[in-house]
Amino acid sequence: MNAPSIIPSLDDLRSSLELAERAEACADMIDDFQRRAVELPAAKRRVTELRDQISRLEETF
């Protein structure tokens, strides 16, 4: 019996990146300064992490 892969596919990562970029843009528009100061860096980190994962995966091709 084959177990499903726990490694996300390139398409999954690209889809997640699109969502993360949208979340980053939304976080940048938050009017509440304290909330923006928390959410924007977290959103930027997520985008960076996903881009790094995509780059590493593309290098294997």
What's the confidence (pLDDT) of residue 1? 55
User: Could you tell me how many residues make up the chain?
Assistant: 61
Q: Quote the pTM value.
A: 0.85
The mean pLDDT of the chain is 93
Q: Give the residue carrying structure tokens 């100061």.
A: 37
Is residue 32 assigned to a domain? Answer: yes
Is residue 30 assigned to a domain? Answer: yes
Is residue 20 assigned to a domain? Answer: yes
Mean pLDDT of 3-7: 75
Domain of 43 in residue numbering reads as 10-59
Q: Is 1 exposed, middle or buried (0-12, 13-18, 19+ CB in 10 A)?
A: exposed
Query: What CA–CA distance (Å, rounded) separates 16 from 20?
Result: 6
Mean pLDDT of 37-48: 98
Is residue 46 assigned to a domain? Answer: yes
Is residue 1 assigned to a domain? Answer: no
Is residue 3 assigned to a domain? Answer: no
Tally of domains in the chain: 1
